[in-house]
Amino acid sequence: MNLKKIIENLFYATIFFLPWQTMWMGREPWVGGFKWEYGVMGVYGVDVLLVALLGLILIKWVKDTRYKIQDTNKSQISNLKSQGKANIKILNYKTLLFISSFLIFSWSLGSIFWSPDKPLAVYFSGKLLLALGLFWAVRRIEFSWKKLLMILLLAGALQGALGVGQFLLQGTFSSKWLGMSVHHAAQGGASVLENASGRWLRAYGSFPHPNMLGGYLAIMLLMIVGKGKSMKNFQFPISNFDSILNDIILKLKNYNLVQNSIRQLADKIQNSYHTLYYVSNILIFSGLIVSFSRSAWLVFVLGFGILFLLQKTRRKELKKMLIIFLGTALVWLAAFSPLFLARTQGEARLEKKSVDDRVEYVAQAREIIREHFWLGVGTGNYTKAVYENSPQKKIWEIQPVHNVFLLVWAELGLVGLVLWLGFLGNIFLVGYKKNKTFTLVLYAACCMLYVLDHWLWDSHFGLLFFFLLLGLILREKEVEMG
């Protein structure tokens, strides 16, 4: 297997294992007898895969660059010059991307000097560097979109099935190898719904919070449905079985019979693919539902609406998927209608508390921004700064503001916020010119989550996941949806 193929397969593996929170903890701080979750530092299992991926990409880039230098001649240089303005435009947008990404990382790194918890600022800057590495890696890796979407389909279906099981069983299990913790409805601090029948645990999947599960599944579903045409034509590489098993099969007397059996099996698998596709979508959508994440529900509705409006040639197929989703939603609604009413009406005690908490978080963020307007408190140091301003609160009561724009402003100051918005704006403008629908869907989904939650910035998974999406937006026109 050549280096190019190893890189491609390692990329698929990284994407598949990205949602799993397996972690080696290097620092686990306790404040006032309670664990400070936002001060934990460690190395995630997916970090190992990502570092290996980036290392191999760097090796390949060095080899390719050396080859190009040796192979360059005057005719090639002349040919490049003849392309004129097209090359200048490509150079300009790539240069701007590099400069904007370099500036945001440099500012994050510089914030270490005024951060109260400097090791934590170093740790968050390291996470940002890894995320930027993934962003640039996605743009260099030669991968198949059909294979990638199959990986996303399987990863999403696994998370959906896990979430459905957790909700129906009203509990999760603990596994250090999978990075999962125990959650039960009666447990304090668990994310639950509350009505006259009692407390109901929301689905977590492999994530530390149901909102992350819901947001992940919503975006996965939008990408998979949006690329439904490509997924529909997916062909399993069954022909590879011949080369893999050739040495063994040739030794058998009934080689032709075995070969025919393999091909018949391949045909059956291919014919059953459509069933797998729809079942997986139902599992993903069910996981989204039982996460009871209102922000994720809104993300999916908004994204699907954009798909329906812009993909006019696929209206028939999208209507079919809409009927499937509505049917699935009706089944869950019929079975657990009191829970959905409690979640949507907002009259229950916990729902009112959730709203009140979010209002308080915004007030806390405004206070931090007022005190550290230009420079911020330092990357990753937001909850520490809030705790120092509110010493009467226990550390587990301190949460980041549920708005990434305010969170970035509080941590990196107005300067950092402007650099961050410049980076995102640059990607949007280039992505919109390349593939309008894909860019609009993903940006609308992420902006909704940016305004309503915080995990796309301050969580390890969220930061990597967001930069993965940014990298996919800037791929060539093969990412055009539909």
> What interhelical angle do 349-371 and 382-389 show, nearest 10?
90
The C-alpha atoms of residue 406 and residue 398 are separated, in whole angstroms, by 16
User: By the 8 A CB rule, do 105 and 463 touch?
Assistant: no
Indicate the SS3 state at residue 186. coil
The C-alpha angle 451, 457, 461, rounded to 5 degrees, equals 120
**pLDDT on residue 434:** 87
The Cα diameter of the chain in Å comes to: 81
The C-alpha atoms of residue 359 and residue 461 are separated, in whole angstroms, by 26
**E strand or H helix that includes residue 27:** strand 23-27
Burial class (CB in 10 A: 0-12, 13-18, 19+), 199: middle
User: By the 8 A CB rule, do 437 and 482 touch?
Assistant: yes
| Residue-by-residue pLDDT tens, the chain, 482 positions | 699 999 999 999 999 999 999 999 999 999 988 899 999 999 999 999 999 999 999 999 988 887 666 555 545 555 545 555 444 444 577 888 999 999 999 999 999 999 999 999 999 999 999 999 999 999 889 999 989 999 999 999 999 999 999 999 999 999 989 999 999 998 878 999 988 888 999 999 999 999 999 999 999 999 999 987 655 555 544 444 455 455 555 555 555 666 666 666 656 655 667 788 899 999 999 999 999 999 999 999 999 999 999 999 999 999 999 999 999 999 999 999 999 998 988 778 888 888 899 999 999 999 999 999 999 999 999 999 999 998 888 898 899 999 999 999 999 999 999 999 999 999 999 999 888 999 999 999 999 999 999 999 999 999 999 999 999 999 855 444 44
Q: Is the dihedral of CA 146, 152, 158, 164 positive or negative?
A: negative
The domain total for the chain is 1
The C-alpha atoms of residue 158 and residue 388 are separated, in whole angstroms, by 41
Residue ranges making up the domain that contains 212: 3-479
262 HSE (CA, 13 A, CB side): 18
The C-alpha atoms of residue 328 and residue 418 are separated, in whole angstroms, by 42
The C-alpha atoms of residue 170 and residue 153 are separated, in whole angstroms, by 25
The C-alpha atoms of residue 317 and residue 313 are separated, in whole angstroms, by 9
> What interhelical angle do 337-345 and 315-335 show, nearest 10?
100
The pair of structure tokens assigned to 67 is 């080859």
Q: What is each CA distance from 56 to 2, 7, 9, 51, 259, in whole angstroms?
A: 11, 7, 12, 9, 36
**pLDDT on residue 227:** 81
What are the DSSP calls for 68-112, one per residue?
Answer: HHHH--HHHHHHHHHTTHHHHHHHHHHHHHHHHHHHHHHHHHHGG
The C-alpha atoms of residue 411 and residue 407 are separated, in whole angstroms, by 6
pTM strictly above 0.85 = yes
User: By the 8 A CB rule, do 85 and 109 touch?
Assistant: no
Give the single-character DSSP code of 208. S
The residues pairing with 34 across neighbouring beta strands, listed in sequence order, are 31
